[in-house]
Chains A and B, each alone.
Chain A
Amino acid sequence: MYKQYIGADGTLAKAVQRLSDNVCIPFAPDNTDYANFKKEVLAGAELQDADGNVMTDASAFIATLP
């Protein structure tokens, strides 16, 4: 499971938290964890918004990412 979170500037961070081990993964195409995040969410893994609500449009969100 993954979760969006609010960055230090008060806006949505350009990163996602992997809840299984609490790592923060930046939206960087060369980052292997980021590639796995996109692949897993597109395959059905849960993505929560910053408030903890399950995103029903996770695939659409993934499509907006680099």
Chain B
Amino acid sequence: MPVIIDGTNGVSTPNTFAFKNRIIDGGFTINQRGYTSGTSLSSGSYGHDRWKGGASGGTYTFTQGSTGVNTTITITAGSIIQVIEGANLPEGGTYVLSWTGTAQGKIGSGSFGASGITGTITAGTNTNIEFNTGTCGNVQLEVGSTATSFDYRPYGTEFDLCRRYFEILRLANNNTSNQYVAVGTGMAWSATDVRVTLGYYPKRTLTTCAMSGSIRFQTSGGGQTLTSFLFDAPGLNNVLMYNASTSGFTTGQALQLTAENTSSFISFSAEL
């Protein structure tokens, strides 16, 4: 096991020091949006968690490894960017960016270069990490000027780090014998207004919410499938989802929110 001791980095024991990597999903293991290999990403649109198309968009291909196993991507057009939240860059100073593959990367407004490139980051400032065309995997940004081995974090931890910025509640039927899988409870505020409170993983800031597809508000004697919802007072970890254009409900009636369409989802985003 390599141990590096120098005047710049102090003691660095790569296989011991955890959480040195400021990149999230540097192994391209989390893909909540279900980005499909080879799909063109417009500028600002997200592929794997935390990675979005650059100023001119970006396209990359990949073969996803087993759950938690790092994947190498091939950026075939444009560039991809990860914005690192300033809260995760508290030290400031010199950072080194490393990765495996032929793509070139850069830190902030610096120049593209090969793995091991360094840059200066102001403490607490959101900072872009960008890669242009080529292969790319095991992306790591760490304090100092010497790149060390990739920091493998537990899959659940990496997933939670991603969920600070984005989370998707897929309304898929996961019960082969019964289509109605409950995902929440709500009530009929009136005959024309149904509401449900949804909770989610704490986000970076007040959250952008969206519902796509359909969901069923089930009652003991029936229910209705609804497709149009609004969200009120989205907080850091909960929101009220409602549809005030319904009919036929009974005021005060309890409702069971059930999934019935595998392509439907509710998303919660606080991306940078």
Q: Residues of A at under 8 Å CB distance from B? A: 5-9, 13-15, 17, 21-26, 28, 30-34
Please name the residue on chain B nearest to A6 by beta carbon: B244
Residues of B203-236 whose CB lies within 8 A of A: 204-212, 228, 230-234
Report whether A24 and B206 are in contact in the complex, using a CB–CB cutoff of 8 Å: no
Give 3 nearest A-B pairs by CB, closest first: A28-B206, A30-B205, A23-B210
List, in ascending order, chain B residues with CB within 8 A of A15's CB: 231-234
Apart from A7-B232, A13-B232, A31-B270, list 14 A-B contacts with CB within 8 A: A8-B189, A8-B232, A9-B232, A14-B233, A15-B233, A15-B234, A22-B211, A23-B269, A24-B209, A26-B233, A28-B206, A30-B205, A32-B272, A33-B269
Please name the residue on chain A nearest to B228 by beta carbon: A22
Can you show 15 pairs from A to B with CB atoms below 8 A apart? A8-B195, A8-B232, A13-B230, A15-B231, A22-B210, A22-B211, A23-B208, A23-B209, A24-B208, A24-B234, A25-B208, A26-B234, A28-B205, A30-B206, A32-B272
Q: Is B271 an interface residue (CB 8 A)?
A: yes
What is the minimal beta-carbon distance from A5 to any residue of chain B, in angstroms? Answer: 6
- In the complex with contacts A6-B244, A14-B233, A31-B205 CB distance below 8 A: yes
Q: How far is the CA of A4 from the CA of B63 in the complex (A)?
A: 42
Report whether A24 and B204 are in contact in the complex, using a CB–CB cutoff of 8 Å: no
Instruction: Give 1 or 0 for each of B112-137: 1 = CB within 8 Å of chain A CB.
Output: 00000000000000000000000000
Please name the residue on chain B nearest to A7 by beta carbon: B232
Q: Residues of B at under 8 Å CB distance from A? A: 189, 193, 195, 204-212, 228, 230-234, 240, 242, 244, 267, 269-272
Q: How far is the CA of A7 from the CA of B84 in the complex (A)?
A: 33
Q: How far is the CA of A13 from the CA of B189 in the complex (A)?
A: 17
List, in ascending order, chain B residues with CB within 8 A of A22's CB: 210-212, 228
Q: How far is the CA of A26 from the CA of B267 in the complex (A)?
A: 14
What is the minimal beta-carbon distance from A58 to any residue of chain B, in angstroms? Answer: 20
What is the minimal beta-carbon distance from B206 to any residue of chain A, in angstroms? Answer: 4
Q: How far is the CA of A32 from the CA of B209 in the complex (A)?
A: 13
